[in-house]
Amino acid sequence: MTLDTIGWIGTGVMGASMCGHLLKAGYKVNVFNRSRHKAAGLLAKGAGWCEGPAAVARQSRIVFLMLGFPEDVEQVVSGPQGLLEACAPGTIVVDMTTSSPDLALRIHELASAAGCASLDAPVSGGDSGARQASLAIMVGGREEVFEQVLPFFRLMGENIRLMGGPGAGQHTKMSNQILIAGTMIGVVESLLYGFKAGLDLDCLIEVIGQGAASCWSINNLGRRIVKNDFEPGFYIKHFVKDMGIALQEARRMNLCLPGLALAHQFYTAAMACGLEQKGTQALYKVMESLNGIGGRSH
């Protein structure tokens, strides 16, 4: 096997598109997902199916992970029948899940002890960025390993940066999520204000989305809100997980982040309302309810 033999674990909303770019480029890809039907599109395009993480490791020299929660990553990497039980020396494990910096460090240590290497490489850009191969990819790890994996990253993203040693990619993603958390409150409140003022929300986004208030969230998720489209580009349940990690890291650093804490409370309320499987833009529905707004039309 060569480094061109790729494994991919996690074929959800973003993982399926990201893996698809590697297949399209002509690479041999071995995939595993807990729900096989979510890998059906990749299998139809020529991916090989493996019956678990260890089976992926035995057939691949570089393995990408795109999972939901840190515990999923830990189980796949170091649990029974995990990657590190079966990977050959020299294998590279690339975790693109948004996870904890501490876990990234542990994976680096475990992989090194097994004669392997690892990178933490979380991404930003949502489902549209995954489909369009325009993701931002924030990487932590050794520079020589990053250089080996960079050609694959370039098939999935446009803004790719080695941020430092193991864990630095996850710390960068936490900064990203902190910014998005506060921004999403602003997006939702802005659109609610516009709605109550009787403005055309599409026109509102056209104007404010090009000025000083311009941001990815208003120009992309704001338009989904206007269309009553609350399906996930990024699940609320995963965003709550990310904010929880960021708050935990902030406490460890004796850092007070009240804006993040407020956003975390609002999104926890969204989960209590049964919206955990919806996209982050579904915060709008929580704010509608708080303001007694229902049955709106555009």
* pLDDT digit string (tens) for the chain, length 298 residues: 455 689 999 999 899 999 999 999 999 999 999 999 999 999 999 999 999 999 999 999 999 999 999 999 999 999 999 999 999 999 999 999 999 999 999 999 999 999 999 999 999 998 999 999 999 999 999 999 999 999 999 999 999 999 999 999 999 999 999 999 999 999 999 999 999 999 999 999 999 999 999 999 999 999 999 999 999 989 999 999 999 999 999 999 999 999 999 999 999 999 999 999 999 999 999 999 999 887 554 4
Tell me the backbone φ, ψ of residue 59, rounded to 5 degrees: -110, 5
Look up the domain containing 156 and give its range.
5-165
In a domain? residue 125: yes
In a domain? residue 257: yes
**Is there a single domain that holds both residue 159 and residue 31?**
yes
Q: What is the pTM assigned to this prediction?
A: 0.93
In a domain? residue 59: yes
Q: Are 234 and 184 in contact (CB under 8 A)?
A: no
In a domain? residue 156: yes
**Is there a single domain that holds both residue 127 and residue 231?**
no
Strand 62-65 versus strand 92-95 pairing type: parallel
Pick the catalytic residue from 38, 45, 173, 285. 173
Alpha-carbon distance of 184 to 152, in angstroms, equals 31
Is 173 labeled as catalytic in the residue annotation?
yes
Count of structural domains within the chain: 2
**Is there a single domain that holds both residue 160 and residue 249?**
no
